[in-house]
Structures are given as C-alpha cells and as structure tokens.
Structure 1
Amino acid sequence: MAASDNLNVFADWAIGLMEALGSIGAGVAVAIENLFPPIPSEVVLPLAGFTASQGTIVLWEVLVWTTVGSVVGALALYGLGAWLGPVRLRRIVDRMPLMKVSDVDRTEEWFARHGAKAVFFGRMIPIFRSLISIPAGVQRMPLAKFTLLTAAGSAIWNTVFVMAGFLLGEQWHRIEQYADGLQVLVIGAVIVVVSLFLVARVRQRVKGTDVEDSRATNPEPARDIEPDDLPDAAITGSHGTMER
C-alpha cells in the first residue's frame, strides 16, 4: 500500500508539472530526479510517454526535454564533484573509519582508464545514474566529453521508458514492477560489494593490530655485534686508535 501511495504522489506531482509546463515539465521532473535519486525516473518517464499518447504533449518534445533535464541534473552534480576536488575528498576519506587515502588513488586510476564507459553506461543503471556524475567532476573529466556521454546514455534510457509508457498507455504503471526488480538487484549488488570490502578491511586492521601486539610482547633479542657486521672503515679506525 505504501509503495502504491508513493507512486500516486510522484505521478500526481509529475502530472502537475506537465500540465503547467508541457513537455518542459517532463524535463524539469527528470532534472529534479537526477538531484534527488529517491524520486524514480521509472515513474516520471513512462508517465510522460503516457501523457504524450493522450495527445496532451508531443512525443519527440518529451524525448528532447527529458534528455535535456537529465544533462542539466548531471551537470549540477558534476559541479559538486568539481568543487569537492581530489584534495577535499582525500581529507574526508582520511577521517573516515576503515578507509584509506590509497582507496582514493586506486579509484582515480580506475576512473582514468574507464571513466568514459562508466559515465555512459552509468546513466542506464538505477542509483548510479546520478552518482556517477560526482566522480566525473572530482576527476575534472573534460566538460564537453562528459556532457556528450551523459546526453547519449540518458537519451537511450529515457527513450526506452518514455516509449514504453507511450505504447502501454493507461497501463504505463506496469513498468514500475520491472524497474523495481532491476533496482533491487543493483542495491543487492552494492550491499554485497560494500560488505565484502568492510569485512576485508576489518580483517586487515585486526591482522595489523595482532602483528603490532606480537612485536611489543616479543621484541627481537639483542645480539652481539660481530666484526663482520662492522664496515671496513670502522674496523680500520678502531685498529688505528689501538695502535696509537
């Protein structure tokens, strides 16, 4: 019941925007959805397609404006990442438990190799659709490249859902159950990856603590210095002193 109520709330909100602004309202809704991921694009986009099927707004305009809205929302988050920057990010990570500054370095190296693919395909993955813009900003991916990749990936995602709503008509809300399934899979994968990371990091910390405790409890015994351990200069100097 709660999920149905939320769907109705989002639907009413999106309908109000489209009634007031036409196709531009669909773009505004998508831009806001990018900034606030809990607002599901899987509701806004099919509903825009359904509205277009009723002749209230024009289909091609919906496709254009929803893509523009996606780019605008992504650019706002890109700007947040650019403001954050690598230096601030390292300071934040350094203060977080179980995190290391080297994690940022590895992420930067990965993004330098795969950033273009991450931005393009990330636009088609729930949750990551919005979040992928932040590391792109942190790494200062060239703005034109980021905008182009975002527009291309968003156009594909938006077209699929808008056209589904257009073709399903009054049954547009059926798309939500499939989109929810995809979102659950993504969230489940994220939970698994984060859990494995935390377990591995805790084990590293515990192992490091055990090694330090062992060294403190059992320090290496001192040993006599043998002549072979001394440099030749020290031996020569010692002999010279003895001769004098």
Structure 2
Amino acid sequence: MLDWIKTVIQSIGYPGIAFLMIVENIFPPIPSEIIMPFAGFVTEQGELNFYGVVAAGTFGSVVGTLPFYYLGHKIGEDRLKRWADKHGKWLMLSSSDIERAQGWFDRHDAAAVFFCRLIPGIRTLISVPAGIKKMNLGYFLILSVSGTLIWVGLLTYLGSILGQNYDKVSEYLDPVSYAVFGFIILSYIIHIIRHK
C-alpha cells in the first residue's frame, strides 16, 4: 500500500495528494497518517512545496467529507436510521450509532465538527450529523477546513522532519499498514457473520 501511495504522490504531485485524501475519507483503510507524512518527506526532497502539500491534503480531505454531509442533509435522520437498520450491517452502522453521533453533535455543535476533524476514525463521520441538522454549508466548510488544516499540517510537518530517515520508517510502516488493513477486513467479516 505504501508503494502505491508513493507512486501516486511522486508521479502526480499535488492532484495525487488531493485524490488520496478524498479516497481516504471514503475508504478509511488508506490512512492520512501514511499519506501526509510521506508527502511531507517529499517536500524535503525539493519535489513539492510544503504549503502546496498542506493545501492539497486539506482540499482533498474536505472534499471527501462532502458526500457524507449531503447524505445526512438529503436523507434526514429518520430515513437514515431505517436504512441503517435494514442495510447498515454492511457498513457496520446501526440506528443506535446514528443516535449516539447525533446526541454528541447536539451537545457540542460547531466544536464537534472542528475537533472531530482532528480525530482519526471519526473525522469523516461527523459530517453525517452536521448534514442531518442542516448546518449551514459555509459554516460547516469553515470548521472542517480549520480542523483539517491543523491535522494535515501536523502530519506533513512530521513527515518533513523525518527527512532522510523516512525510508527507514517506511520499512516498518508498510507491514503495519497491511496489518491494519487485514484487521479491518477481518473485523468486517466477523461483523457480517455475526449479523447473519
């Protein structure tokens, strides 16, 4: 997986980073924790500009959240819960998950969008309750961009300070990323079996 991420970033540059971050939001096994540090490392090689990398990563990440925002906005809470109860097992999503997310969003509102953009695993999902509550799209984007900018900037900076040691780190990251991907697939299979 790491080799594929490297190839996309090195051959396509900024659009490749944006593409990977869009995909990362929709298909979480491709983590931003691998994409952005490598992109930061590439800035140290002089191939890409640090600020351009952060801008591309932020843009891609925010664009990747919009389908989830519109899903919540267009479908609404009741229909989404009914759908989750009927088909959500395939996405490991239930109506009670939606209720919990909605309750958390109701208590924290704008802060939920900002801070959740900094937390792996729920960075994208917070978009659904924001859409359900019909949060103003402009306000949602400002909060999403602000939180994402901090997260992407931090990961890019960490990759840039790794400098020449990134190749050594990647020797460990690649097996770990495959292990994480395998764990996610295994968890998904177990979840499906249990629901059948």
Same fold, judged at TM 0.5 (above): yes
Residue number in structure 1 paired with 2:162: 168
How far is the alpha carbon of 1:15 from its aligned partner?
1.9
How far is the alpha carbon of 1:81 from its aligned partner?
2.0
> Retained in 2: the 8 A contact 1:94–1:101?
yes
Equivalent of 2:82, from 73, 81, 91?
Answer: 91
Equivalent of 2:132, from 134, 138, 142?
Answer: 138
Equivalent of 1:31, from 19, 22, 41?
Answer: 22
How far is the alpha carbon of 1:107 from its aligned partner?
5.6
How far is the alpha carbon of 1:69 from its aligned partner?
0.7
**Aligned in 2, Cα 1:49/1:109: closer, same or farther, shift over 3 Å?**
closer
Structure 2: runs of 5 or more not aligned = 89-93, 181-196
Equivalent of 1:58, from 43, 49, 52?
Answer: 49
- CA-to-aligned-CA distance 1:53-104 (integer Å, 9 cap, x gap): 10111111001111111110011221222233123024346769xxx98996
How far is the alpha carbon of 1:112 from its aligned partner?
3.0
Q: In 2, distance between residues paired with 1:91 and 1:160?
A: 39
Q: In 2, distance between residues paired with 1:29 and 1:56?
A: 18
Q: Which has the higher contact order (CA 8 A, sep 6+)?
A: 2
> Retained in 2: the 8 A contact 1:24–1:62?
no
**Aligned in 2, Cα 1:94/1:66: closer, same or farther, shift over 3 Å?**
closer
Residue number in structure 2 paired with 1:207: none
Give the total of aligned pairs. Answer: 171
Q: Letter of the aligned partner of 1:91 in structure 2?
A: R
Q: In 2, distance between residues paired with 1:73 and 1:83?
A: 17
Equivalent of 2:118, from 121, 124, 130?
Answer: 124
Write the mapping of 1:45-84 to structure 2, written as runs, cut at 5 A: 45-84=36-75
Q: In 1, distance between residues paired with 2:122 and 2:12?
A: 28
Write the mapping of 1:189-228 to structure 2, written as runs, cut at 5 A: none
**Aligned in 2, Cα 1:23/1:126: closer, same or farther, shift over 3 Å?**
same
How far is the alpha carbon of 1:110 from its aligned partner?
4.4
Residue number in structure 2 paired with 1:44: 35
Cα RMSD (Å): 3.1
Q: Percentage identity across aligned positions?
A: 41
> Retained in 2: the 8 A contact 1:23–1:58?
no
Structure 2 length-normalised TM: 0.74
Q: In 2, distance between residues paired with 1:155 and 1:52?
A: 17
**Aligned in 2, Cα 1:113/1:58: closer, same or farther, shift over 3 Å?**
same
> Retained in 1: the 8 A contact 2:101–2:129?
no
Residue number in structure 2 paired with 1:188: none
**Aligned in 2, Cα 1:86/1:163: closer, same or farther, shift over 3 Å?**
same
Q: In 1, distance between residues paired with 2:80 and 2:30?
A: 27
Q: Are 1:148 and 2:142 matched, yes or no?
A: yes
- CA-to-aligned-CA distance 1:35-66 (integer Å, 9 cap, x gap): 11111110001000001110111111001111
Q: In 2, distance between residues paired with 1:64 and 1:164?
A: 16
Residue number in structure 1 paired with 2:183: none
Large movers: runs of 4+ above 3 Å: 92-96, 100-110, 172-177
- CA-to-aligned-CA distance 1:110-136 (integer Å, 9 cap, x gap): 423312111111111111011111221
Q: In 2, distance between residues paired with 1:51 and 1:120?
A: 28
